[in-house]
């Protein structure tokens, strides 16, 4: 691994982030990444976070039009309430703070505690839970569905609304609507390796893949012999659309589509996979209004990908298209 030691890998990455992005305030000791102008403009603050190893989630999404702050934990380990409390205080401009929380037990408990502490300090806090993964209902890390790719959609759209000056209840309502309109499904072609362990986190024999994998290497629905990109897309897109159909929305409405790499799959393969996803959606009468392809919600060095679809009306599309300037996502400025 390209590291100094397992003990310093997160701190070293934060030092590097600070050197690469001087427009961010990176507090290595407190483990908080803050947008430098977070308190200007009187906007709602957006705070998210989670274990490291999923980069660019979440620190790479701090900046104009997206997050106000992010709290990185140790690799695959939730940040602690004190990080979240410090972040909330650092971004509160008098309009309140929204916590965007992926549905993992440690994240849920720690963000809940941080929200209670913040409210004791006089801050208004709302929390939105992201639970978009359709692969499994419960996993090693969760009660209920896991939070995965839809986190990007939630943070971008809620961040755009906050940038426009929307009040806290409106920003929170939009974030919840995006989550409710989004579904994801992931596939692993190889296991990931954590710095502390130095070996794969689970066994995946050559010539096999895991359907429905989680971003920490949690098991999915089933293990199969290796499949073609087209065959994998048929399983993933089918699972996502079948679950979205249960929400009662229009079956042929426009969607935001994210084809997300797990960290070790090259863009050459991801774009080829997106071609299959697009073909299947067109065949089902679903219009891809906007598409994003790349590594955004990763799992260290895992090979594989995930598909996230979000039903998007005109308002959500407008907020998606709004300017954003972060280390990992930028357009319109």
Q: Which residues are catalytic?
A: 54, 216
Q: Under DSSP, is residue 298 helix (H, G, I), strand (E, B) or coil? A: coil
Residue 326 contacts residue 63 (beta carbons within 8 Å): yes
Copy the structure tokens of residue 26. 């990176």
Q: What are phi and psi of 225, to 5 degrees?
A: -65, 155
Residue 192 contacts residue 302 (beta carbons within 8 Å): yes
Cα–Cα distance measured from residue 287 to residue 88, given in angstroms and rounded to the nearest whole number:
38
Cα–Cα distance measured from residue 202 to residue 204, given in angstroms and rounded to the nearest whole number:
6
Quick one: which of 231, 51, 230 has its CA closest to 147? 51
What is the dihedral angle through the alpha carbons of 152, 187, 14, 36, rounded to the nearest 10 degrees?
0
Cα–Cα distance measured from residue 7 to residue 106, given in angstroms and rounded to the nearest whole number:
21
Q: What one-character DSSP code corresponds to residue 53? A: S
Q: Exposed, middle or buried, 6 (CB in 10 Å: 0-12/13-18/19+)? A: middle
Strands across the sheet containing 288-294: 222-225, 208-211, 182-188, 304-311, 255-261, 288-294
């Amino acid at each position: 691994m390209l590291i100094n030691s397992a003990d310093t890998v997160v701190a070293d990455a934060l030092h590097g982030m600070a050197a690469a992005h001087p427009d961010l305030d990176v507090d290595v000791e407190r483990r908080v990444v803050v947008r430098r102008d977070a308190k200007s403009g009187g906007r709602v603050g957006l705070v998210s976070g989670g274990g490291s190893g999923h980069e660019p989630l979440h620190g790479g999404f701090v900046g104009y039009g997206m997050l106000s702050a992010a709290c990185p934990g140790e690799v695959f380990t939730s940040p602690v309430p004190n990080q979240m409390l410090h972040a909330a205080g650092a971004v509160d401009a008098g309009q309140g703070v929204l916590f965007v929380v992926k549905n993992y037990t440690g994240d849920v408990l720690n963000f809940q505690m941080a929200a209670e502490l913040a409210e004791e300090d006089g801050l208004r806090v709302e929390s939105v839970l992201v639970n978009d993964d359709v692969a499994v209902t419960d996993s090693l890390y969760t009660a209920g569905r896991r939070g995965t790719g839809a986190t990007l959609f939630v943070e971008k759209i809620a961040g755009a609304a906050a940038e426009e000056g929307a009040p806290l209840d409106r920003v929170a309502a939009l974030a919840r609507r995006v989550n409710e309109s989004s579904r994801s499904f992931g596939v692993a072609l190889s296991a990931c390796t954590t710095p502390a362990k130095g070996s794969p986190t689970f066994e995946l024999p050559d010539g096999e893949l895991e359907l429905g994998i989680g971003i920490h290497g949690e098991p999915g629905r089933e293990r199969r012999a290796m499949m073609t990109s087209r065959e994998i897309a048929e399983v993933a897109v089918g699972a996502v659309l079948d679950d979205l159909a249960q929400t009662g929305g229009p079956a042929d409405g426009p969607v935001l589509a994210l084809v997300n790499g797990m960290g070790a799959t090259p863009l050459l393969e991801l774009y080829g996979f997106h071609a299959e996803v697009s073909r299947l959606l067109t065949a089902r009468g679903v219009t891809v209004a906007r598409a994003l392809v790349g590594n955004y919600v990763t799992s260290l060095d895992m090979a594989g990908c995930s598909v996230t679809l979000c039903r998007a009306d005109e308002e959500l599309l407008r907020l998606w298209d709004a300017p954003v300037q972060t280390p990992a996502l930028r357009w319109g400025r």
